[in-house]
């Protein structure tokens, strides 16, 4: 148990690091006047989500036997002590499972923020952060990982294709459609090196995100670790080649975006598929997510940092491809009768498709409704003057750089 606990402490720390990494990734992509405005949205989730998770979030996700949501039996960690063992596998303390899952809850709503950069008020975002977790994240975490409806139906999601990326990506699309486009859509990234630092932190942290989801140290932990790197690498090169062929220059931001797309796409399948399948998933990710971003541009959806095309489409694609490649020879959690489509598991494939499409639709609809309701409480969209001034100065009274820098 000591070895598993030590590994999971490391994995939890790695997933925690992903949220600052995301802040750097988004901060570098944002315009110079909106760096702090987007970064604070990631960092505030680390504080506010922890409060919610401790108060009732963990309990709603991982206690009770309801089909859609848990109960409040473990609110404020009631009944959980230092000696409590996580009942799911009996290999780590429940405190540690609480902390590990909390890191997932922190980063998921933060993913959405890249879509509406420099258009949303901070006050409305705080309300959104609370409501979105309660009405979208907690139900799906319970249904998939907490023994709820989708788990009982046989749906598999190793580390968050449905729970994290599909829900966040389609929530991002709903947000973009609700708030509309930016006044200046041609704003260029303020710091590509900052994007590279963020990508490096995300890639590094993703090993804890995926390999840690085994919640122990065994051969599946190693499998998911290798699959994560292989898929990300193949997606990186695929995106680079496709974009290079279109624009005649190898773009660094494109390469970095392809890496994140590959990481998001392999997430649901990391511990369930062989390495050769991870390579194919990475190639598919680079291809499909690239053209999803192109479709977004053609449709005029101002998803500023391509959250839908990378995380939403990547999460959906990875969940569906899990339905194609899942193998019981890799993970015993995949029953012989519920293997991937290439092994004859057509019913499992159909279930995966229905589940991820349903989750994406739910996230889109409820996010749009939430934004309408929040707007009755406080304006969601910033004024035109605030947007043109930049959120850093107008909302936060701070600047990322001194005058003359960068």
Q: What is the mean pLDDT of residues 62-75?
A: 95
Question: CA-CA distance, 113 to 188, in Å (whole number)?
Answer: 17
- What would the pLDDT profile of 300-335 be if each residue is shown by its tens digit? 898 988 999 999 999 999 999 999 999 999 999 998
In 184-226, the DSSP E strands lie at: none
Predicted local confidence at residue 139, as pLDDT? 98
Q: What superfamily in CATH does domain 2-390 come from?
A: Ammonium transporter AmtB like domains (1.10.3430.10)
Question: CA-CA distance, 191 to 56, in Å (whole number)?
Answer: 39
Predicted local confidence at residue 257, as pLDDT? 97
Q: Which of 113, 129, 120, 110 has its CA nearest to residue 375? A: 120
Q: How many C-alpha atoms does 19 have within 13 Å on its Cβ side?
A: 23
Q: Is the pLDDT of residue 44 over 80?
A: yes
Q: What is the mean pLDDT of residues 10-16?
A: 98
Q: Which of 132, 141, 137, 140 has its CA nearest to residue 175? A: 132
pTM above 0.85, yes or no: yes
Percentage of residues in the chain having pLDDT higher than 70: 99
Question: CA-CA distance, 387 to 35, in Å (whole number)?
Answer: 13
Q: What is the mean pLDDT of residues 63-77?
A: 96
Mention every residue, 6+ apart, whose C-beta is less than 8 A from residue 193.
Answer: 28
Token duo for residue 232: 């990300």
Q: What is the mean pLDDT of residues 355-379?
A: 97
Predicted local confidence at residue 304, as pLDDT? 87
When pLDDT is cut at 50, 70 and 90, the band that residue 341 belongs to is very high
Q: Which of 304, 292, 36, 297 has its CA nearest to residue 179? A: 304
Compare 399 and 103 and report the one with higher pLDDT.
103
Provide the 3-class DSSP secondary structure of residue 240: helix
- Count CB neighbours of 375 within 10 A: 14
Predicted local confidence at residue 186, as pLDDT? 67
The DSSP letter of residue 403 is: T
Q: Which of 113, 114, 171, 179 has its CA nearest to residue 137? A: 171
Q: What is the mean pLDDT of residues 107-117?
A: 94
Provide the 3-class DSSP secondary structure of residue 303: coil
CA angle 114/323/355 to nearest 5° reads 60
> Environment class of residue 249 by beta-carbon count within 10 Å: exposed (0-12), middle (13-18) or buried (19+)?
exposed
Q: How many C-alpha atoms does 92 have within 13 Å on its Cβ side?
A: 25
Query: Domain map of the chain by residue range?
Result: 2-390
When pLDDT is cut at 50, 70 and 90, the band that residue 281 belongs to is very high
- What would the pLDDT profile of 175-188 be if each residue is shown by its tens digit? 999 999 888 776 78
Q: What is the mean pLDDT of residues 186-193?
A: 85
When pLDDT is cut at 50, 70 and 90, the band that residue 404 belongs to is low
Question: CA-CA distance, 229 to 238, in Å (whole number)?
Answer: 14
Q: What is the mean pLDDT of residues 15-25?
A: 97
- What would the pLDDT profile of 76-92 be if each residue is shown by its tens digit? 999 999 999 999 888 99
Torsion of CA 347, 350, 354, 356, to 10 degrees: 110
Predicted local confidence at residue 29, as pLDDT? 92
Q: Which of 41, 6, 358, 25 has its CA nearest to residue 206? A: 25
């Amino acid at each position: 148990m000591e070895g598993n606990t030590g590994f999971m402490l490391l994995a939890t720390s790695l997933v925690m690091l992903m949220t600052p990494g995301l802040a750097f990734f988004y901060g570098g992509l944002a315009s110079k006047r909106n760096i702090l405005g987007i970064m604070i949205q990631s960092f505030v989730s680390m504080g506010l989500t922890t409060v919610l998770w401790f108060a009732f979030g963990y309990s709603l996700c991982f206690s009770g036997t309801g089909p859609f949501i848990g109960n409040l039996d473990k609110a404020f960690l009631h009944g959980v002590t230092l000696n409590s063992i996580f009942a799911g596998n009996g290999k780590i303390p429940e405190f540690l499972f609480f902390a590990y899952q909390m890191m997932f809850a922190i980063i998921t709503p933060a993913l959405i923020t890249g879509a509406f950069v420099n258009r949303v008020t901070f006050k409305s975002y705080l309300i959104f952060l609370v409501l979105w977790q309660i009405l979208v994240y907690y139900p799906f975490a319970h249904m998939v990982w907490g023994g709820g409806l989708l788990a009982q139906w046989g749906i598999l999601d190793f580390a968050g294709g449905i729970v994290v990326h599909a829900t966040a990506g389609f929530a991002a699309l709903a947000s973009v459609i609700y708030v509309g486009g930016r006044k200046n859509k041609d704003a260029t990234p303020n710091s590509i090196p900052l994007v590279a630092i963020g990508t490096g932190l995300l890639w590094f942290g993703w090993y804890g995100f995926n390999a840690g989801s085994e919640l122990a140290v065994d051969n599946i932990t190693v499998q998911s670790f290798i699959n994560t790197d292989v898929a990300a690498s193949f997606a990186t090169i695929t995106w680079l080649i496709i974009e290079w062929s279109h624009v005649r220059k190898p773009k660094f931001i494109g390469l970095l975006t392809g890496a994140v797309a590959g990481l998001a796409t392999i997430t649901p399948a990391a511990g369930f598929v062989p390495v050769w399948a991870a390579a194919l998933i990475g190639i598919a990710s680079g291809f499909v997510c690239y053209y999803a971003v192109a479709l977004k541009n053609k449709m005029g959806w101002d998803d500023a940092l391509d959250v839908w095309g990378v995380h939403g489409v990547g999460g959906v694609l990875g969940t569906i491809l899990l339905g194609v490649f899942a193998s019981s020879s890799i993970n015993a959690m995949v029953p012989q009768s519920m293997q991937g489509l290439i092994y004859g598991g057509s019913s499992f494939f159909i279930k995966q498709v229905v589940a991820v499409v349903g989750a994406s639709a739910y996230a889109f609809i409820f996010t749009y409704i939430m934004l309408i309701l929040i707007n009755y409480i406080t304006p969601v969209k910033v004024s035109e003057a605030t947007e043109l001034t930049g959120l850093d100065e107008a909302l936060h009274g701070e600047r990322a750089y001194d005058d003359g820098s960068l």
